[in-house]
Chain A
């Protein structure tokens, strides 16, 4: 039995995005945020990961669980969404993308370790957030949190979430959440990547490790 998990043992473990991911519906669309650590046991394989993965122009997915599983599912969904939108001559709805993720996750549930949040903007419905957890259920929510670090945010989110926030309020909600989760969850860390998705497209930003707000530190 190892004293502390050594990297040699760690590298035999599944590489997972032990993670914190948040998606929030706001006035004009959605705000999504994630940390940037990919861990294998207690070794940080990638400290600047980008977990905000586009599957179409106005639709992103937030990945948690096995890095390999979520990467390949996102690739498949983005391929099919692209094909269908060309065939149909219009942009896909977030609902379509979410249901596609669900199909992959549900039909292959024995093989996969994937917990995904699908968020984006479409003309009919504005900003939408769908949660596709382990097992392949699909649940539409005004906000969704996922990953190992999310355990530390249920209290924070339940107390501070409001419907129809402004962009600034929503970004503050997401970045503070990610920051707190990074502070407490060993499997989350690095920087906070945030994206705003609305009718004007996708705007990405990064809050670096040393710029993250400091809350009670002891």
Chain B
């Protein structure tokens, strides 16, 4: 009999993932930290990964489960490839199909009381348009133009909602994301100042190397001497 391997509580966790649509596509952002409780243990992990040439997923929550999801989806892509080559399927799996499949996987796991402890953002380009949405550990499926998971739902979403305009410019979208990531770095104790951006356009996926964002600490002078 197999030993039970239920995910009882998250151990190595990732914090927020943000996503925003713009004129030519969509940009996702996250930091590169895997926390071990309050310890900033793994400071160079990738919580946004490509699945196909046109799809990317980002994960909040238990990192091992996110890696498992990546495996499951990449396996599905390979199976689909075989069908494509033998003429039974038309083409590569679309982002919306991957999103839908993932939601069934996560819902099925929740029904067995053994969830994959994640909040996953799925984003990609299909048929000339962007598809972006989330699925969470309970199997709830959701699509929108602006997405945030984890602490990002509380701190970043209001900022993104204020700044978002349909077909906004790329620079504006990046600026909004940078502001949100900065606020999250200030206020979320489980983040670090090291971020990765994933841009998806009709050309494909481009994931940047980790970068740092400038932070402001002038207000510290006003707090000095005060309890």
How many A residues have CB within 8 A of the partner chain?
40
Q: Mark B119-144, 1 if CB is under 8 A from A, else 0.
A: 10000000000000000110000000
How many B residues have CB within 8 A of the partner chain?
40
Select one of A48, A53, A71, A183 contacting B220, CB under 8 A.
A48
Residue B215 at the chain A interface, CB threshold 8 Å: yes
Assembled-state Cα–Cα distance A148/B187 (Å): 18
Q: Is the CB of B220 within 8 A of A191?
A: yes
Question: Chain A CB within 10 Å — which of B40, B41, B150, B214 has the most?
Answer: B40
Select one of B60, B119, B189, B214 contacting A187, CB under 8 A.
B189
The chain B residue with its CB closest to the CB of A187 is B38
Q: Is the CB of B227 within 8 A of A3?
A: no
The chain A residue with its CB closest to the CB of B32 is A218
Residue B13 at the chain A interface, CB threshold 8 Å: yes
Q: Mark B12-39, 1 if CB is under 8 A from A, else 0.
A: 0101000000000000000000010111
A179 partner residues in chain B, CB cutoff 8 A:
none
Whole-angstrom distance from the CB of A70 to the nearest CB of chain B? 9
Q: Mark A34-77, 1 if CB is under 8 A from B, else 0.
A: 00110101111011111001000000000000000001001100
Assembled-state Cα–Cα distance A47/B39 (Å): 18
Assembled-state Cα–Cα distance A46/B187 (Å): 8
A36 partner residues in chain B, CB cutoff 8 A:
220, 223
Residue B58 at the chain A interface, CB threshold 8 Å: no
Q: Is the CB of A4 within 8 A of B60?
A: yes
Q: Is the CB of A47 within 8 A of B186?
A: yes
Main secondary structure on B side of the interface with A: loop
Residue B172 at the chain A interface, CB threshold 8 Å: no
Assembled-state Cα–Cα distance A36/B217 (Å): 11
B221 partner residues in chain A, CB cutoff 8 A:
206
Q: Is the CB of B39 within 8 A of A186?
A: yes
Select one of B40, B150, B219, B224 contacting A4, CB under 8 A.
B150
- Contacts known (A3-B60, A49-B223, A50-B226); A186 close to B217, Cβ less than 8 A: no
Whole-angstrom distance from the CB of B115 to the nearest CB of chain A? 9
Residue B61 at the chain A interface, CB threshold 8 Å: yes
Q: Is the CB of B35 within 8 A of A208?
A: no
Q: Mark B186-227, 1 if CB is under 8 A from A, else 0.
A: 111110101000000000000000000011010111111111
The 3 closest A-B pairs by CB, nearest first: A186-B38, A48-B220, A218-B44
Q: List 23 A-B contacts (CB under 8 A).
A: A3-B137, A4-B150, A6-B151, A18-B189, A36-B220, A37-B189, A42-B151, A42-B189, A43-B188, A48-B219, A48-B222, A50-B226, A71-B227, A186-B39, A186-B189, A193-B224, A204-B224, A206-B220, A206-B221, A208-B217, A210-B214, A210-B217, A218-B44
Interface positions of A (Cβ within 8 A of B): 1, 3-4, 6-7, 18, 36-37, 39, 41-44, 46-50, 53, 71, 74-75, 148, 152, 183-187, 189-191, 193, 204, 206, 208-210, 217-218
Interface positions of B (Cβ within 8 A of A): 9-10, 13, 15, 35, 37-41, 43-44, 60-61, 117, 119, 136-137, 150-151, 154, 186-190, 192, 194, 214-215, 217, 219-227
